[in-house]
Every structure is written in C-alpha cells, then in structure tokens.
Amino acid sequence: MNRVHIKTYGCQMNERDSDAVAAMLRARGYRIVADENECDILLLNTCSVRDAAEQKAIGKAGYLQRRKKKQPDFVLGILGCMAQNRGASLLDQLPDVDLIIGTQKFHQVPGYLDNLRAAREAGLPVGASIVDIGEEAGSQNTIKDHLLPEANTSGGAANGEGGGGEGDVESERQVSAFVSIQQGCNMDCAFCIVPKTRGDERSRPMDDIVAECRMLAARGVREITLLGQIVTSYGRRDYVHTGGVTPFVQLLERVHAIDGIERIRFTSPHPRGFKDDLVAAYGRLPKLCGYVHLPMQSGSNRILRAMNRPYTRERYREIVEALRAVEPGMYFSTDVIVGFPGETEEDFEQTRELFEACDFDMAYVFKYSIRTGTPAADMGDQVADEVKERRNQVLLDVLERNSLRRTQRLIGAVEEVLVEGRDKSGARFTGRTRGNRVCVFDADPRLVGELVPLRIERASVSTLYGELVLAGVG
C-alpha cells in the first residue's frame, strides 16, 4: 500500500507543489506511479482560481469515492487551494475523503499517510478524516525537494492537468526546473481568492534558493523558472535595496552567476514590480530570457480601480514599451478578465484596444466568475454570461491573429532552442525558444539538455517546426 498517484489542477505553482510532495513521499519509501488505476493512494492537488476548477476536482473526487466501496483500503486525499478554501466543509459533499490538506501543510502529507497506512496494515479502524488547513510559520521553506528524473522509470512523477499527459515515463535528463521563491499575496485584488488560499506574502531565504539552483545545475538542469504568487515582491520585507536594486533583481543576479544555468525565467509578476532595475536587467543579464508574463486584467482605468489593481492603462503601456526598448524582440503573455462587474462596452473597447496594441504572443483570457469571499462577489451590475462570452471571443480572435503573425515572422530565422526531450508522439523532439515558443524537430537523444540552433520552416499559432542547422546532426 505504497503506490501514490498525484493529479494536479491549475498553475505552475501547483505543479511545483506536487513535485515537492512526490519527492518527499518517495524519500519516505512511497512509489510515485503514472497510472491512477495502479495506485493505492490518490492525491488531488487542486485549484480555486475559478469555480469551474473547484467543481472539476469535486467531480473527480466524487467519482473516486466509488472506488473505496470496492477497495476499502484505498486512500483519497485533497490538497492545495480548494482544500484551503473549503476545509472540512468538503466532507459534506465528499464524506469518504481521507485527507484534506491546505497550502501551508504540503510537507505534512508523508506523516499523515504513514499514520493511515499503519492503521490499515494493523487492521485498526480508521477514524475521522484528517483535515489540516492551519497556517504554519516557515512553510514556504518546505517546497524545496525535486523528484529525480530517474524516478520516472518506476512509474512517473506527479502529472499536471493539461500538461504533458500521464503516460510519459521515459527516463530522460531533467533540463528545466521550477524553483519556488515566494508564496502568498498581499495585493487584495477584488476578484481573487489567492490571498485566502495561499496566505500573506512569505519569501524564502535567498541563500537557500541559490543553493537549490546550484544543486539543480549540478544535476544537469539548464533552465530555471522562479515561481511566486507575486514573484516580483520577493524579499521586499526581508532584504534592503542595494544601489537601487530590489531584492528580486538581486536574486536574479545571483542565479545568473551559477555555472551551468543558461536560462532564467520567472512567473507570475505584477506590473507594479517592473521598476527601472528589473527592466534594465533584461539588457545586462543575458541568461534572463526575453519573455515576460505581464498580467493586464483590464485596459480600462475605471475597471482597474474597481479590481484594486494599482496601475493605469497608461502605466501598463509604458512598461511594455520600456521592455521592448531594452529587448526589441521581447515576447509577452498576459492575463485578462472580461465581464468584471460593471464592465461597459466602452470599458471593454479600451481593453480590446490595449490588448491589440501590446501585440501579445500568448494570453489567458478569462470570463469573470464569482468567487465567494472576494469583494467582487458582492458587487452589483454583474455582466450577463452571453456578453462575457462575446467579449471573450473577441479577444481570442485578436490573440490568434497576433500570435500567428508573430510566429510566421520567424519562418526562415534561426532560433536558439533548449532541447527538452521527446514530443508527445515520441517520434520527434521538442524544446522552447528564448521567447518561450514551443518547437518540434528531429534530433538525436544525446542533444537533450543542449542549446541548439534551429531554422524555422513552418509555424502554427502556438508551435514552430524546424530543422537543426548543426552539421551532421538531425
């Protein structure tokens, strides 16, 4: 009874949390398996950003409860944001769930599972479900373990919903890694439940983060993505600004100095964090990739104020232009919410105009959904669903045109690509450009982990196809 499957919903933070839980469990003697039908323990790491995400996880858990009727020893757990948001009330809908573990208690999962296993193996009756959603000082420092790539040969790591699928267990070198540097959020955006599910801002010690990155580099990792709810707020209460350089940029400088790390990315920032020092870093830190995820949310100053977003459309445009001045080939992605309470046609037109002017390469466009417990949930003048749907489609159409035009410009160009491994078909290889564009190409397995020049021959909206230009390779 030691085979664990972790199913992950939501963002890269959730993927990183699942990876850390998997590593801690494996160190305790558990096996991480890729097939949920082959596990004894199934953990759902959940998302609460939208109600649909919670309902999807609840539906999955309800389906899995049936399995407990046939397998009384089967263990079902709910972790993460939905567990934090709903707590013990989940048991009203899901009475057979064994574990409900919040976002500050991921490191407690191995101990709780050990206790459940011991009781079952001893034939003892199992008591009430375990619910632990309490705050814990220093919990941000526990997300530091990584599942070794060779673990995949015995059944795979935690899998992300909508990510790389559930069956890819080929043992390949790990060439990129997420590193959690900060958790929680103090921004209090009117639409967002993250401060409730993740708590206040808490940053990890800079020395610990740098040591983790060095360890990953020693394993062969070439690309690091620094993660946080508001990653640009890193260390603002813990470290002093030195010569006008913020703690976050100081951290970028230290990671940049690590031998073996060739690329640095980060997500998710806040426009407020793009001070002069961060903009300038793109011109003086060559390992910092020319790709920025810059959440816009709305292009209307009136709606931005209602959202409690502390910037204007004019300031947002200034940031985009400043970054492109430092790096003309900068790639941008963003988040936009349509149909926020009170959004008029004029407000939406301002959003559409700014969205088009910024020429985004990729975007997450969301139709506003009520999240109980947020200020926006109690606002009047809610926008009709059909209006949200229409506005959503308008932005998606703009994005498709922009993105296709941007990718087609690359046809004939040679781009630096980090070879990550085989694509989903298993027949070809995949990697990303510095601008975070996915590429598919033929290669030799020995090139996994290498930075290679790729001539782009064909382009779709989101994917580039090309041929290596190294002599004798292909």
Q: Please compute the mean of the pLDDT values over residues 175-199 and round it to a whole number.
A: 94
Cβ–Cβ under 8 Å, residues 269 and 293: yes
Is 173-289 a domain of CATH 3.40.50.300?
no
Contact 391, 350 (CB under 8 A): no
Strands 414-422 and 362-367: unpaired
CA gap 441, 459 in Å, rounded: 12
Specify the pLDDT at position 152.
43
pLDDT classification of 117: cutoffs 50, 70, 90: confident
Strands 3-8 and 159-160: parallel
Mean pLDDT across 448-454: 96
Q: Quick check: do 173-289 and 292-408 share a fold?
A: yes
Q: How confident is the model over 80-114, as pLDDT tens digits?
A: 999 999 999 999 999 999 999 999 999 999 999 99
With bands split at pLDDT 50, 70 and 90, how would you rate the model's confidence at 124? Answer: low
Task: Confirm whether residue 11 is marked as ligand binding.
Answer: yes
213 annotated to bind ligand: no
Backbone angles phi, psi at 165, to 5 degrees: 85, -175
To the question of domain 414-468 being in CATH 2.40.50, the answer is yes
Superfamily the domain 3-139 falls into: Methylthiotransferase, N-terminal domain (3.40.50.12160)
Residue 328's CB: how many other CB atoms inside 10 A? 8
CA angle (79 as vertex; 163, 81 as ends), nearest 5: 80
How much is the pLDDT for 157? 42
Task: Determine whether the annotation assigns residue 358 to a binding site.
Answer: no
pLDDT on residue 68: 86
With pLDDT > 90 as the criterion, what percentage of the chain qualifies?
A: 83
For 333-383, the pLDDT digits (tens) are 999 999 999 999 999 999 999 999 999 999 999 999 999 889 999 998 999
Average pLDDT over residues 455-473: 87
* pLDDT value at 161 more than 80: no
Cite the beta strand spans of 47-175 per DSSP E: 75-80, 99-101, 130-132, 159-160
Query: Within a 10 A sphere around the Cβ of 53, how many other Cβ atoms?
Result: 19
The fold of 292-408 is: Transcription Regulator spoIIAA (3.30.750)
The predicted structure's pLDDT at residue 176: 96
| pLDDT (0 to 100) of residue 160 | 45
Was 289 annotated as part of a binding site? Answer: no
* pTM > 0.85: yes or no: yes
Sign, Cα dihedral of 252, 253, 259, 263? positive
Contact 203, 238 (CB under 8 A): yes
What are the sequence ranges of the domains in the chain? Answer: 3-139, 173-289, 292-408, 414-468
Please compute the mean of the pLDDT values over residues 434-459 and round it to a whole number: 96
Helix, strand or coil, per DSSP, at residue 1:
coil
Say if residue 439 carries a ligand binding annotation: no
Which one-letter DSSP state was computed for residue 468? Answer: E
Q: Poorest-confidence range of 66-70, 116-120, 301-305, 385-389? A: 116-120
For residue 10 the two structure tokens come to 């939501």
- Quickly list DSSP for 126-149: P-SPEEE----TTGGGGTT----G
